[in-house]
């Protein structure tokens, strides 16, 4: 062992430095074995290299993702080879060498028939679609000879994957609409998520992320146009408010579940391209197609209910609160929609209401009684804010009552 101190050492990736064997005693190319082990380790265990497996295929042919068990066996054989190097003769070296590369060689020969070669100047996109997904080439180089072909029999075409996803979406719509339907199980959820994942990652030439993103948006648009809007049209004020609250609640549930199915898009595709998130797409769809059409009627209905309560009638405060919350939430963190589409009109109506009341009360009540009436109105407006209006409206309402 003393003689090994002057010999070089090499690094087994992910493990530790191992003293190299006596290089002069064997003709085997140890550096080739080192590179092979490194490529096998990287291609079988690191998800970062899922779509960048060209190096291993250049050396070994198209093997896809090598199973972990096979990798472990190769590593074990490799270390046995190291150990035997110190105590065995050349025949033992060669025996282990052939064990190590025998299965790789046979598998490479078996896959040689699947290689496809492009003509000079031909693009893989000019091939039939079924062959396009099998074409792989070096990133950054011009299209040329295809290095290897895909043998993944679990490849999903977009139409096939989307058909499966639509079944899950239809089931979710039925649940949201209150129709008889079984709930989603964890297995259902994982199958839907996995389908989206595979459509996005199975092949760089067939990355369907953009198509899925567009279909996600289209799902909301079709549902809103065919189901939500017809249910809101031609309904009286309070009934329309009740339906609007129901549809907004259902929309949020639908968005929450769909964003889980398509969550892989949020994590990678959307983040890299700085696109609106899945939840933002859902909110924008409702805002553009539903809110812009009904917000004026909803505002009138809410203000009418507030006026009825000021006159002493009982109203559904929870309904008003839910509608007000929709005006707040549709702004996606901003108060523009609430302030411009509801609050401004409500404050104007409040000023007009109390101006009219003040002109009659000043003739009807004495000064002390008039002041008591004003105090009562201020208390009631603060109470309204606490029950169903946004807290930012309190001081504005109080000022309107005092100015009247």
Q: Please give the pLDDT value at position 87.
A: 52
CA pair distance 266, 279, nearest whole angstrom:
9
Encode the chain (404 residues) as per-residue pLDDT tens digits. Answer: 444 344 443 333 433 344 444 434 444 444 444 444 444 444 443 333 333 333 333 333 333 444 444 555 665 666 566 666 555 555 555 555 555 555 555 554 544 444 444 454 444 445 555 455 444 433 333 333 332 333 445 788 999 999 999 999 999 999 999 999 999 999 999 999 999 999 999 888 889 999 999 999 999 999 999 999 999 998 888 999 999 999 999 999 999 999 999 999 999 999 999 999 999 999 999 999 999 999 999 999 999 999 999 999 999 999 999 999 999 999 999 999 999 999 999 999 999 999 999 999 988 888 899 999 999 999 999 999 999 999 999 999 999 998 87
Report CA Rg, the chain: 35
What is residue 2's predicted lDDT score, i.e. its pLDDT? 40
DSSP secondary structure letters along 65-121: S--HHHHHHHHHHHHHHHHHHTTS-HHHHHHHHHHHHHHHHHHHHHHGGG--BPPTT
Domains and CATH numbers, the chain: 2-120 (no CATH), 158-333 (1.20.1310.10), 335-404 (no CATH)
Q: What is the pLDDT of residue 403?
A: 87
Predicted pLDDT at 82? 60
To the nearest 10°, the Cα dihedral for 226, 232, 234, 235? 150
Sorted by sequence, the CB contacts under 8 Å of residue 262 that are 6+ apart come out as: 196, 212, 216, 278
Residue 266: strand, helix, or coil: helix
């Amino acid at each position: 062992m003393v003689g090994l101190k002057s010999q070089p050492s090499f690094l087994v990736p992910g493990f530790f430095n191992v003293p190299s064997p006596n290089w002069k005693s064997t003709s085997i190319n140890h550096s080739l074995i080192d590179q092979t082990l490194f490529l096998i380790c990287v291609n079988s265990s690191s998800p970062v290299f899922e779509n960048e497996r060209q190096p291993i295929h250049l050396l070994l042919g198209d093997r896809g993702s090598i199973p972990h068990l096979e990798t472990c066996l190769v590593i074990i054989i490799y270390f046995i080879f190291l150990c035997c190097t110190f105590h065995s003769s050349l025949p033992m070296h060669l025996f282990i060498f052939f064990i190590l590369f025998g299965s790789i060689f046979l598998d490479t020969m078996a896959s040689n028939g699947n290689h496809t070669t492009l003509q000079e100047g031909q693009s893989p996109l000019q091939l039939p679609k079924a062959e396009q997904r099998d074409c792989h080439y070096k990133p950054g180089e011009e299209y040329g000879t295809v290095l290897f072909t895909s043998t993944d029999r679990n490849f999903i075409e977009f139409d096939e994957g989307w058909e499966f996803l639509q079944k899950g979406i239809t089931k979710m719509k039925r649940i949201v609409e209150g129709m008889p339907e079984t709930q989603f199980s964890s297995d259902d959820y994982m199958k839907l998520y996995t389908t989206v994942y595979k459509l996005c990652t199975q092949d760089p030439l067939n990355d369907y992320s953009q198509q899925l993103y567009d279909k996600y948006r289209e799902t909301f648009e079709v549902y809103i146009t065919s189901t939500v809007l017809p249910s809101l049209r031609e309904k009286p004020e309070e009934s329309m408010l009740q339906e609007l609250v129901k549809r907004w609640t259902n929309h949020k549930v639908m968005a929450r579940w769909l964003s889980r199915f398509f969550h892989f898009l949020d994590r990678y595709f959307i983040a890299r391209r700085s696109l609106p998130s899945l939840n933002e797409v859902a909110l924008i769809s409702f805002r553009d197609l539903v809110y812009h059409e009904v917000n004026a009627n909803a505002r009138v209905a809410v203000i009418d209910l507030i006026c009825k309560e000021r006159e002493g009638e009982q109203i559904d405060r929870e309904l008003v609160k839910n509608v007000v919350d929709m005006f707040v939430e549709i702004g996606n963190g901003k108060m523009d929609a609430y302030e411009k589409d509801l609050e401004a009109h409500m404050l104007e109506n409040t000023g007009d209401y109390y101006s009219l009341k003040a002109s009659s009360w000043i003739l009807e009540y004495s000064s002390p009684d008039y002041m008591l009436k004003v105090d009562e109105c201020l208390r009631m407006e603060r109470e309204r804010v606490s029950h169903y209006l946004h807290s930012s409206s309190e001081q504005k309402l109080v000022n309107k009552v005092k100015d009247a």
